[in-house]
Amino acid sequence: MIEIQEATIQYGGVYGIRNVTATISAGKVTTLIGPNGAGKSTLLSAIGRMQSLDAGTVKIGGLDVGRTDSNELAKKVAVLKQSNAINVRITVQELVEFGRFPHARGRLTAADRVRVDAAIDYLDLHPFRGTYLDQLSGGQRQRAFIAMVLAQDTEYVLLDEPLNHLDMKHSVQTMTTLRRLVDDLGKTVVLVLHDINFASVYSDDIIAMKDGAIVHTGPAAAMMEQEVLREVYDFEIPVHVIGGNRIGVYYA
């Protein structure tokens, strides 16, 4: 469980998030949605201690994020940022091995290599393990980064806009993989998405943000209501049931 109490972050007097309080259940996919500037990425950064709080607390599995040793926290939560630029030319194998750093500190044991191999196999990356990242498609590269996160072997996985720059096919593959991390491996996945329909189809819970605050939170189906989406996005988004999923139609 992730417990957020009165979390506040300011940038030169402007609030990124303000007095945010929420509980995120373990063993589920929870998605943060909202317009640009709503505070989604800021809140995710606060949860993963990529940004320090000016006030409030965040606890992950009972650990106070602001007080826990960095290496200990890295064994509890893995973070995949929006930008995954790496300045060195490395292979998929080498990237996934980075995920073991909190455990191995750069000296991989036989047990670490088992975790690396399992992550590569789980993401169907075995044919690419010796391939350089810049030789992969966007979807393959994203799977490689998720494999790195999986090799880290944490209970909690945070992802900031993991569908950025992916086409529809690779977006579906990525979301299916994240769903499997929860359903098959019991992980807790928290992510930021702009597409409300991906959030609707693949999430258990949705947290809707606006102006640095949470305006609605609840099960995905309950959040995909026209009245809720109108308050979040300031325009009408009709919702239809398609294939058993609640889908927002947000084009004119």
Residue 247 is part of a domain; what is its CATH number?
3.40.50.300
60 and 102 part of one domain: no
What is the reported pLDDT for 252?
64
> What tens digit of pLDDT does each residue of 166-204 get?
889 888 988 999 999 999 999 999 999 999 999 999 999
Residue 212 CA to residue 230 CA, distance in Å, equals 17
In a domain, 126, yes or no: yes
Q: How far apart are CA 104 and CA 110, in angstroms?
A: 10
Q: Answer whether residue 52 is part of any domain.
A: yes
Q: Residue 182 domain-assigned?
A: no
Calculated CA dihedral for residues 154, 160, 165, 167, nearest 10 degrees: 60
Q: Are residues 131 and 70 in the same domain?
A: no
Same-domain pairing of 60 and 4: yes
Question: Could you give the number of structural domains in the chain?
Answer: 2
Residue 177 lies in a domain: no
Examine the fold and report which residue of 97, 129, 153 is the final residue of a domain before the chain moves on: 153
Residues 102 and 63 in one domain: no
- Same structural domain for residues 14 and 53? yes
Domain for residue 118, yes or no? yes
- Domain match, 64 and 10 both: yes
pLDDT tens digits for 63-77?
A: 999 999 998 999 899
Nearest to 153 by CA among 106, 124, 117: 117
Confirm whether 128 is domain-assigned: yes
CA 186 from chain centre, in angstroms, equals 15
Question: Phi/psi zone of residue 186: left (φ > 0), alpha (ψ -120 to 50 degrees), beta?
Answer: left
Q: Which residues of 76-109 are buried (b: 16+ CB within 10 A; e: fewer)?
A: bbbbbbeeeeeeeebbbbbbbbbbbbbbbeeeee
Looking at the domain assignment, is residue 224 inside a domain? yes
Residue 20 φ/ψ, nearest 5 degrees: -85, 125
Residues 45 and 102 in one domain: no
Same domain, 96 and 137: yes
With respect to residue 180, please indicate whether it lies within any of the assigned structural domains: no
Quick count: other Cβ atoms within 10 Å of Cβ 4?
A: 23
Domain that holds residue 125: 77-153
145 CB contacts (<8 Å, ≥6 apart)? 80, 84, 95
Stretches in the chain below the pLDDT threshold 50: none
Domain co-membership, 84 together with 137: yes
Same domain, 50 and 85: no
- pLDDT confidence of residue 95: 94
Judging by beta carbons within 10 Å of its beta carbon (0-12, 13-18, 19+), is residue 20 exposed, middle or buried? buried
